[in-house]
Amino acid sequence: MVMTATPTQSVTGSTSTSGSYLGAISRWLTLADHVRIGMSLVGGAALWLAISTVLGAVLGIERFDTTAALVDADAHTQLFSLHQFALVFGVAAPLMLGVSLWSVPSQLHASNLSLPRLAAFGWWSWLAGGVIVLVSYLGNGGPGGGADRYVEMYLLGLGLVVVGLVAVAVSLATTVMTRRNGQPLSSVSLGAFSALVGALGVILTLPVALGSIAYLWVDYVNARVAFGGADLIGSWLGWTMREPQSLLYVVPALGVLGDAVVRTAKARQPLRGVMLTGVGIAATVVFSSVTQQAHVFAVGASPTETLQSFVPYALFNVVPLLAPVVVILLALLALKAGKPALSGAFVASFLGVGMILTGLVGSAVMHLDALNLVGTVFGEAALVYVVYGAVLTAMGAIVLHAGTVTGKALPDVPVMLLSLLGVLATVLASLPHYVAGFLDQPAAVGTGFDDSGVVGVANIAAALGHLLMLLVLVAFVGLFASSRRAEAIADRYRVEALA
């Protein structure tokens, strides 16, 4: 009897396990709730983050010694382009939208998203587009690519990515607008409000990029006289992957810090209206993005010419800086007004928004014509600051809302340690290129410049920074996974914000 019972139990257990796996796969394939859609986007962004860190390390090592090439020199343009795509459309935009989808309904006390099927469509469109873009690069496509079919594939994939992000943003914005349970918009959590601002920014700007992609595709498959072919794709679409447009993708980070500091300080947010205004200032980037060009300040031959240059520069490069500045200052004011105890969510989000601000300041400095920084690695460093800052803030958001959304909280001390390590990784990956930019190291090339002295050290330091961020990613994913299997711990963030 024992011998016959044992195989029966084994078969039953195996069948049950197989059924649970099939059920999980089925639920994922037919996802229509905010938790699964949001975590799918976050998981996809984590994979792209791993890709971008490896690319950043390879490019840093490649530029450390311009005479010993790791990759073919003809592929440099595509590698730099893929790295930029991975940072912006692979990590920053989907990560912030995913975290918002995952957490905003619970902040609004709603059971699910509005238009969940549209959000699911957005996830699948983004996923398919990202895979197509990656395959196109492997086939010598992308900006500067030499294979016509794969360049066309790149434009198709990029278009699908944009459509997916816009679809997710529409669902998110509709959720905040229609599922507030009678609350006025000014009374919702800062996280929900900033998610709305970011989603509206995506909705208003990325369709402009989609129109450009359509024109580029039509031109490319025909005469290639209007837009210049594959070599000039980046010049027409580059605005979507640089500052200040990147601020629109990471606006939700400001709300994460606002919510984290109130719950950490256990006090009302002083000047909440000013905080909301600070978050809203980020929407001014919309006007910059639709112009599809960088705005550089140059001293003219007359005061009138100088003023004509300064006004758009200040509007599109300096004014957006006020958004993170206001949020950071009011976060510190909230700490002073309350009785705070350091927490993982606050440390991660505060440091993350600080890195975002550093990137935006760098971008504003870069667009001062007198410094001659445009076209150097200075711009690459500014983007890495913004994107890695968003990654740190997303860690804070997951810690802040994990207990409410999943029922399992994350421990604070490991998160704080990983946040500090993440800041070190961000600074290593970015600050050396700020320095190298002043030393005229050109952007998007691996050869043709002096790699001796400080420039060489800067590139190897940047490579180490990217690898360190990969380590932070792996450690945080492991921490999150272990918390799901471990015993439930007290969630200190369940105390509702008083503001």
Give residue 228's pLDDT.
72
Taking only the tens place, the pLDDT of each residue in 19-67 is 666 766 777 677 788 889 999 999 999 999 999 999 999 999 888 876 7
Give residue 444's pLDDT.
84
Rg (CA), the chain: 23
Give residue 3's pLDDT.
43
Q: What are the structural domains of the chain?
A: 32-494 (1.20.210.10)
Give residue 292's pLDDT.
74
Query: Distance between CA atoms of 112 and 175, rounded to whole angstroms?
Result: 8
Up-side HSE of residue 45: CA atoms within 13 Å toward CB?
A: 26
Give residue 495's pLDDT.
46
Query: Distance between CA atoms of 84 and 143, rounded to whole angstroms?
Result: 11
Which residues does the chain have with pLDDT short of 50? 1-12, 14, 495-499
Contact 398, 406 (CB under 8 A): no
How far, in Å, are 76, 100, 147, 255, 342 from residue 224 at the CA level? 23, 40, 14, 44, 57
Give residue 82's pLDDT.
94
Give residue 15's pLDDT.
52
Give residue 69's pLDDT.
66
Name the DSSP letter for residue 411.
P
Stated pTM of the model = 0.92
- φ, ψ of residue 487 to 5 degrees: the values are -65, 145
Q: Which residue has the tokens 């992957």?
A: 241
